[in-house]
Chain A
Amino acid sequence: MKHLFPMLLIAACGAAQAETPRQVGDNYAAAQGGGFRATASRGADFFARKFNVSEKFPACVTCHTDNPAQPGRHAITGKDIKPLAPVANAERLTDPAKVEKWFKRNCKEVAGRECSAGEKADFIAFLSEAR
């Protein structure tokens, strides 16, 4: 019994770090402000768009394939990339720091700029609905 409290505390801290894709998406929507509502179809357009900023990876789909529930392949190294959609890979979109890190990297490389919070919310809505 004496140990119960610290154990609960640890459980609570663990829970604070892992979030659901829904929470991660909601946080981006809130950051965009103005009552922004995420739309999966806009996220799908973004995913498929050819930005053509980088010759090696003109679009997100270059590495992630056009179906986010399928495994992808890194366009330069050839390494397999696990599916982005939570339906196929339960670890996705649960670690806000990891999600933000990859948005930062991939948006800069592919779109040549940072993505807005709204674009990220749309993208997460799209991935969450992918089957």
Chain B
Amino acid sequence: MKRYVSLFAATLLASPALADRLPIPAGAPPAFKAECGSCHLAFPPALLSADDWRRVMAGLDKHYGDNASLDDKTRRQLEDFLMHNAGSSWKLGSGGGDPPRLTLTSRFQRKHREITPATWKDKRVGSAANCVACHPRAEAGSFSEHEITMPGGRRHERD
């Protein structure tokens, strides 16, 4: 019981820091950035649950309209890495879509509820998965509110 209580406390303490700092976990295989970071940002593993990562990794040949197939050894290595560093499904909600999308988890939608449909459709953004369009330091794992730039160069204003 005591173990659960301290685990719970640790989770609470860790939450604020986790919200805007999502660096790629230490010990990530080099293939993670080389493979999963070549067509888009190497997405932080914590933003999708283990179950959803398994589904993403099971269909790399039909990957959201693209083909991201890997040799079997690399595929398994990356699947292990992603599932070990996955987020918890009760915090994230499941990613809708097939394969599942982290941009459709309820956590992502909640964090981005202020963004208007016009902004999502802006040519410079193009896709919600284009994190770098608004989080210029996303490659370094930083999603801090203070760094956000909205397309057009405007800094994001709270209303």
How many whole Å from A113's CB to the nearest CB in chain B? 13
Interface residues of A: mostly helix, strand, loop or mixed? loop
| A37 interface residue per 8 A CB criterion | no
A8 CB–B CB distance under 8 Å: no
Q: Which of A21-29, A45-53, A71-79, A120-128 contacts B (4 or more CB under 8 A)?
A: A71-79
Give the complex CA separation of A47 and B67 in angstroms.
Answer: 19
Given that A74-B39, A79-B39 are known contacts, is A109 also in contact with B66, CB under 8 Å in the complex?
yes
Q: Which of A79, A105, A109 contacts B130, CB < 8 Å?
A: A79
Q: Annotate B22-60 by CB proximity to A: 1 below 8 A, 0 otherwise.
A: 000000000000000001110000000000000000000
| Residue B109, interface by CB 8 Å | no
- A56 neighbours in B (Cβ, 8 Å): 65
How far apart are A114's CB and chain B's nearest CB, in angstroms? 12
| A131 at interface, CB cutoff 8 A | no
Number of A-B contacts (CB under 8 A): 31
Is there contact, CB below 8 Å, between B40 and A77?
yes
CA of A76 to CA of B127 in the docked complex: distance in angstroms? 7
Contact A77 B39 (CB under 8 A): yes
Complex CA–CA separation, A28 to B133 (angstroms): 38
Task: Check if B129 is an interface residue, CB within 8 A of chain A.
Answer: yes
Q: Are B69 and A76 in contact (CB under 8 A)?
A: no
Report chain A residues within 8 Å CB of B67.
Answer: 105, 108-109
Q: Mark A76-119, 1 if CB is under 8 A from B, else 0.
A: 11110000000000000000000000000100110000000000
Residues of chain B lying within 8 A (CB to CB) of residue A79: 39-41, 130, 132
Q: In the bound complex, how far is the Cα of B127 from the Cα of A105, in angstroms? A: 22
Which residue on chain B has the smallest CB distance to residue A57? B66
B126 contacts the other chain (Cβ, under 8 Å)? yes
Assembled-state Cα–Cα distance A87/B20 (Å): 38
Assess the B65–A77 pair: CB atoms within 8 A. no
Q: Tell me the complex Cα distance, A78–B123, Å.
A: 9
B64 at the interface (CB under 8 A from A): yes
Instruction: Answer yes or no: B150 CB below 8 A from chain A CBs.
Output: no
Do B127 and A77 touch (CB < 8 A)? Answer: yes
Complex: how many Å from CA A56 to CA B126?
13
Is A76's CB under 8 angstroms from B65's CB? Answer: yes
Cβ-based interface call for B83 (8 A): no
Decide if A105 touches B69 in the complex (CB within 8 Å).
Answer: yes
Task: Name the residue on B nearest A63 (C-beta).
Answer: B39
Q: In the docked arrangement, what's the CA distance between A108 and B69, Å?
A: 12
How far is the CB of A59 from the nearest CB of chain B, in Å?
15
Question: What are 16 residue pairs bridging A and B, where the CB atoms are less than 8 Å apart in the complex?
Answer: A74-B40, A76-B65, A76-B66, A76-B127, A77-B39, A77-B40, A77-B129, A77-B130, A78-B124, A78-B127, A78-B130, A78-B133, A79-B41, A105-B67, A105-B68, A105-B69
- Which residues of A does B touch, CB under 8 Å? 56, 74, 76-79, 105, 108-109
